[in-house]
Amino acid sequence: MKKLITIFTMAGMLLCTGAVFAQRPAEDSPRTPTPRLPDGTVDLGGNGVWNLPYVTNIAARMEGFDEGKRPPFRPWAQAMWAYNRSNLVKYDPEGFCLPPGGPRSMGTPYPAEIIQNRDRILIIFEGGGHVWREIHMDGREHPPLEELNPTYFGHSVGHWEGDTLVVDTIGYNEKTWIDYNGHMHTEQLHTIEYITRPFKEVLHYVAVIDDPGAYTEPWTVQWDINWNDDQELQDYVCQENNKFLLDMVDDEGNPFFQKTNGL
């Protein structure tokens, strides 16, 4: 039982043996030229998967990050972040098998596959609720925000700027956190992501987080994602292994969240 509890503390839901924890590429790792489609467009997919890294504290991936630096919180958002930390993030939605959503979806440590078509791009996630994300590439604009039904991944439209995929997303619901560390957001969240593939082996991910409901100004995060040739997504359903974490106890009857931190 104690070993099982330790596994749950890693992210509240990391029970998939097929998950690959990405590490930053070594300096001497292969650097193969960027793959391209017949029309010259960068190919973000291929015969393999992207090994998403485990980004527990997205603030540590901010531009110009120094130890102790925090996002530009509004008072309520900072208070909620402190509260989530104080209770050892026991209310993390992803710990209850809800989708990660937003930039967190690119920092939840399970493989992901990108399927690239002319009019849309799909990102399929093995973990984090075993969900997918659709990016419209047909030139459409966002519907008015008041007409959108807020969802976990929001409404995404994308376009190419040279070799950079630019993805603009609005229409998020408030059921997700930005990361495992307890950073929250509102339905006003607007993200702009910049995705490049400088080499076959590396995807560089940048996200601008603009949420005037929770933060006083936009802030930018970034990280690298590693490629794994010939790996396939596994059939993983979080709900098959999920426990009601608030009621978990160890062999001595002590509440699970009073004995772990995982922060």
The pLDDT tens digits of the residues spanning 140-185 come to 999 999 999 999 999 999 999 999 999 999 999 999 999 999 999 9
Evaluate whether 114 touches 50 at the Cβ level (below 8 Å).
yes
Give the residue-averaged pLDDT of 41-58. 96
H or E stretch covering 221: strand 219-229
Residue 134: C-alpha distances to residues 107, 111, 113, 191 (Å): 17, 17, 12, 15
Residue percentage of the chain with pLDDT more than 90: 69
The residue among 250, 225, 184 whose CA lies nearest residue 1 is: 250
Does any domain span residue 14? Answer: yes
DSSP at 14: -
> Could you tell me which residues are beta bridge partners of residue 203?
225
Does any domain span residue 201? Answer: yes
Token match 């995929």: residue? Answer: 165
Question: 255: number of CA atoms within 13 Å, CB side?
Answer: 10
Asked if the model's pLDDT at residue 195 lies above 70, the reply is yes
Which domain does 103 fall in, by range?
A: 2-258
Asked if the model's pLDDT at residue 23 lies above 80, the reply is no
> How many folded domains does the chain comprise?
1
Asked if the model's pLDDT at residue 260 lies above 60, the reply is no
Asked if the model's pLDDT at residue 256 lies above 70, the reply is no
Strands 155-161 and 132-136: parallel
The mean predicted confidence, pLDDT, of the chain is: 85
Does any domain span residue 196? Answer: yes
Does any domain span residue 16? Answer: yes
Does any domain span residue 246? Answer: yes
Does any domain span residue 263? Answer: no
Q: What is the pTM of this model?
A: 0.83
Phi-psi region of 134 (alpha: psi -120 to 50; beta: other; left: phi over 0): beta
H or E stretch covering 223: strand 219-229
